[in-house]
Amino acid sequence: MSETGTAAERPGRRRGAAREKLLAAAARRFYADGVAATGIDTITAEAGVAKMSLYNNFSCKADLVMAYLDARHEEWLGLYRRRLGEAQGGRGGVLAVFDAYADHAAFAYERGFRGCGLLNAAAELPAGDEGRDVVRRHKEEVEDLLAGHLEEMLPGRPEEVRAVAEHLSFLLEGAMARAGLEGAGTRLEHARAMAADLLDRL
């Protein structure tokens, strides 16, 4: 490789590394302290990068918040896909969704588990903010995943599928809220058991 080619690649690698450090720092601080309470200086200090690095990667704090929300969504999808790989059939697929939420609760958070990071952020954003749309789409996607698994169990019964998917979605979100308030995943374990019982009675 030529000396020129090596030099040309280094800045890109530095920018990529800085972006990942900033996103990781934002994820920790936004989750632990809240979006509004976390300033740019706090994030750059925790990431160990210059403030200019933030503006080289994100146009403003709002842009960083959007990247954080997208990353949380992708993180959850990764947990779900891992669980789905171990699941069997429609019933197993539904429970994989619950298990992915429990895995999320089991992370070693700096100040303990505080519930769904996406909903926590959405609660701080004003009505009409596009970040709230990101969170809404995430929740809709989760309900659609539940519905997709339920279709395997209830073929040709689309109305029942949607009703049960909504029911399970509410169960999941309620358990997540209570688990966040209590700082533990116990409510999610209970919700999974309730979901399993409901599925067995379909």
Dump pLDDT digits (tens) for 117-131: 999 999 999 999 999
Whole-number Å distance between alpha carbons of 115 and 118 = 9
Whole-number Å distance between alpha carbons of 159 and 180 = 32
Per-residue confidence at 14, pLDDT binned at 50, 70, 90?
Answer: very low
Do 105 and 185 meet the contact criterion of CB atoms below 8 Å apart?
yes
pTM: 0.88
pLDDT at 15: 54
Whole-number Å distance between alpha carbons of 178 and 120 = 13
Do 90 and 151 meet the contact criterion of CB atoms below 8 Å apart?
yes
Please state whether 48 falls in left (phi above 0), alpha (psi between -120 and 50) or beta: left
Burial of 140 (0-12, 13-18, 19+ CB in 10 A): exposed
Q: Give percent of the chain with pLDDT exceeding 70.
A: 93
Q: Is the pLDDT of residue 11 over 50?
A: no
